[in-house]
Amino acid sequence: MISAVYALIAIGFTMIFGVGGVLNLAHGALIMIGAYSFLVVTSGSTLGILSLPTGIGLIVAIAVAAAASYVLYIGLVEHIEENPVITFLATLVVALILSELFVMGFSSSPRTLINLVPGSIHVEQFGVRVTNIEVVGFVVSWIAIGLLWYYVTRTDEGRSILATSMSERGAQLTGVDLPKIKARTWLIAGAFAGLAGVFIGTLQSTSPIMWLDPLALAFIIVVIGGIGSIKGSIVAAYLIGYLETLTVELLGAGFRGTFSLLVLVIVLLVMPQGLFGREWVHE
């Protein structure tokens, strides 16, 4: 179920790469920003005056993460994106700075977010239990993905994003305003990260180190699915979900992360274009 949320993260990451050629290592930090924004506005324990309903919290989380993503692009990445390695390093440094700032602001102790939809469903005959929040996370993620799909295939604005990710030069020739498209992509990716942040923050934990695991996962999913491919990200998110469960079953919990990373390396080396991606290896 949580694979849908992972897909949400990976899609944002891959769109930014597709459109701008930027590997945004601060993507995990945007998830963290989403989770903490939700915490601040919904929980009475941070700012006593603010304890808004969780639905509004969700919207705030999306808005703040989207804004942060936009600012990150306009304020930093836009000026350095012509050098991919410096961008790689700079976005990573941004993530580290944000992580330390959250330690200062909220202490390093992890937090729990107020549950959007408490309760669970227990299917007796299959012995399966699912919490409501997992179901909602699944549904909302798919709605978001569906909306994005509609946007990039059915609307002119969205199509220009898709076109840019296929060929930057081609898109430019057809009169696409490139800087605007890139900024818009960062905005969407940020919104997705913020939404994912609320679910990750509730189902897992909200802490200043929560940025790294989702980021590593986004890497893996994106590379396996093919960098720049939205469809690939969704398929790979589910693939990795099953793979992790399988690893835990067969090898034990200690190898869970390692095995996915190994698969990533193998995919990179054997099939660098991923399942649905473009060729990007240069011999």
Residue 169 contacts another protein per CB under 8 A: no
Q: Which of residues 205-264 bind another protein (CB under 8 A)?
A: 205-207, 209, 212-213, 216, 219, 223, 244-245, 248, 252-258, 261-262, 264
50, 71, 93, 147: residue in contact with another protein (rule CB under 8 A): 93
Q: Which of residues 95-114 bind another protein (CB under 8 A)?
A: 96-97, 100-101, 103-104, 107-114
CB 172, min distance to another protein, A: 21
Residue 135 contacts another protein per CB under 8 A: no
The 3-class SS string of the chain reads CCHHHHHHHHHHHHHHHHHHCCCCCCHHHHHHHHHHHHHHHHCCCCCCCCCCCHHHHHHHHHHHHHHHHHHHHHHHHHHHCCCHHHHHHHHHHHHHHHHHHHHHHHCCCCECCCCCCCCEEEEHHHCEEEEHHHHHHHHHHHHHHHHHHHHHHHCHHHHHHHHHHHCHHHHHHCCCCHHHHHHHHHHHHHHHHHHHHHHHHHHCCECCCCCHHHHHHHHHHHHHHCCCCHHHHHHHHHHHHHHHHHHHHHHCHHHHHHHHHHHHHHHHHHCCCCCCCCCCCCC
Window 177-206: contact mask with another protein (x via CB under 8 A): -----------------------x-xxxxx
- Which listed range, 117-125, 146-154, 164-172, 231-239, lies at the site for another protein (CB under 8 A)? 117-125
Q: Which of residues 10-49 bind another protein (CB under 8 A)?
A: 23, 43, 45
CB 212, min distance to another protein, A: 8
Residue 279 contacts another protein per CB under 8 A: no
136, 142, 149, 272: residue in contact with another protein (rule CB under 8 A): 272
Residue 84 contacts another protein per CB under 8 A: yes
Number of Cβ atoms within 10 Å of the Cβ of 106 = 17
Residue 83 contacts another protein per CB under 8 A: yes
48, 49, 118, 124: residue in contact with another protein (rule CB under 8 A): 118
CB 86, min distance to another protein, A: 6
